Amino acid sequence: MRRFLTAAALAGLLGALLSGPVAAREPATVWLCAPGLAADPCQGGLPTTDERTGKTTTAPESRPVDCFYVYPTVSQDLTPNASLKATPPVVSIARHQAARFSDVCEVWAPIYRQRTLTALAVSSLYGPELQAETARIAYGDVLRAWKEYLARTPEGRGVVLIGHSQGTGVLRRLIREEIDQNPSVRARLVSGLLLGGTVAVRKGSDRDGDFKNVPLCRAEDQTGCVLSFASFSKTPGKDSLFGRVPATDNGSGFPYGPDYEAACTNPASLRHNSPEIAKTILRTDPVPGLLGVAAFLTYLGPPPTAATPWLIPSDRYVVECARENGAHVLRITGLAGARALHPAPLPTWGTHLLDVNIALGDLLRIVARQTAAYGA
C-alpha cells in the first residue's frame, strides 16, 4: 500500500505515530449494523441483476439466526488506530460484504478501532510493542461488542461469525479465547466464515491448530465449524501474505512451524474440494478511497456494474483449494470469456478484495443449510 500514500498523508501519519495509538480507553460499543438501527448499511432484500439471464430478482428474507460481522482493514485515518466513526469506507465495505447476508440472518456489526491502512503502509516505523498495542485496542472493541451481543440476544439463538482480513484475525482470536473452550457459547456457533486470513490446522487434520474443539466445515449442513480460505488467481509467491502459517514463533500465541498449514475450505465443494464454478455475487456501488483503487487494479479497469445494487456477472470462475509453492489457497481460474483477475493491491495479496464476493452465493447457500440444521 506504500505506493498509494501521498506526501501529506505520510507526514500526518508520522506525526500521529509519535504520540502512539488512540487513547486506550474502553468506550461504549458503537454499532454499524444491528436490528432496528437507523441507516443500517447491512440491510438486505435488494434487487439483483443476473447478466446471464437478464432477469432482476429480489432475494427472500428469512432470518432465524444472527450474523456477527467484523470488517477488514479499510480505515484511512492518519493514526495507528481508527476512530469509532462510520466513515465512508466502513459503510461501503459493509454494503459490499455483509449486506447480502441480511437475507439469511440478522447482521450485527460493531465499529472498532482497527489498525489503519496508513499504519500498515509504514509499519516498519514502529516496533513490536506499539503494534501489539494497536492490535489490543482493536480486539478489545470487538470483544466488548461480542459480550454485549451475547447479553442482548436469547441464549439459544444461533450465530454465524463473518470476518475478512483484519476482521478474520480478530475473530480467530475471539473463537480461540472466548468460544472454543466454552461449551455453552460454542453451542450457539452455527459456523464461522473466516475469509482472507490464516486459520491454522494441524496437517492431515481439520482441527488441533488454532482451535481444539471447532473443526473445519466439510459438509454444508455441518454446524459448529469454520470455513476459511484466501483466494489467488495466480500461483502464490514465496512471500505471499496469505495461505501460510508462520515458520517461526511471531509472538502471537498461535501455532507455527512445519506441523501446521493454513486451512482452505472450498465453498463450492466443501466435502470433496472438486473444481466447481463459484456463484459470484457483486455489489455494484462504487468503492471509495484506496479500496476503489484496489478494485480497479483487480480488474485492470472499472469493476462490473449494473442498474441494481447487486449483480451476478456473466464472468464465471472455477475454484479449488490447492497447495502451491508452500501455500494452501483457493485458486481461481476463469472460464472462457471471463475477465482476468489480477493480484491487488500488490502481488503478495492475491485477489484479496474478492475473497468474500467471488463465492458469495455459495456462502449464502451454506449458511442457509447450516441454519436449517442448527434449528433442527
What is the per-residue pLDDT across 203-212, written as a single tens digit (0 to 9) for each? Answer: 999 999 999 9
Please answer whether residues 328 and 306 qualify as being in contact, where contact means their C-beta atoms are separated by less than 8 angstroms. Answer: no
Grid cell 480488474 — which residue? 299
283-318 pLDDT, tens digit each: 999 988 888 999 999 999 999 999 999 999 999 999
Is the CB of residue 276 less than 8 Å from the CB of residue 269? yes
Helix (H, G, I), strand (E, B) or coil at 111: strand
Read off the pLDDT of residues 237-271 as tens digits, 9 standing for 90 and up.
999 999 999 999 988 899 999 999 999 999 999 99
* DSSP codes joined into one string, 36-104: T-TT-TT----EEEETTT--EEE-----SEEEEEE--S----SSSB--SS--HHHHHHIIIIIGGGGGT
pLDDT digits (tens, 9 = 90+) for 144-183: 999 999 999 999 999 999 999 999 999 999 999 999 999 9
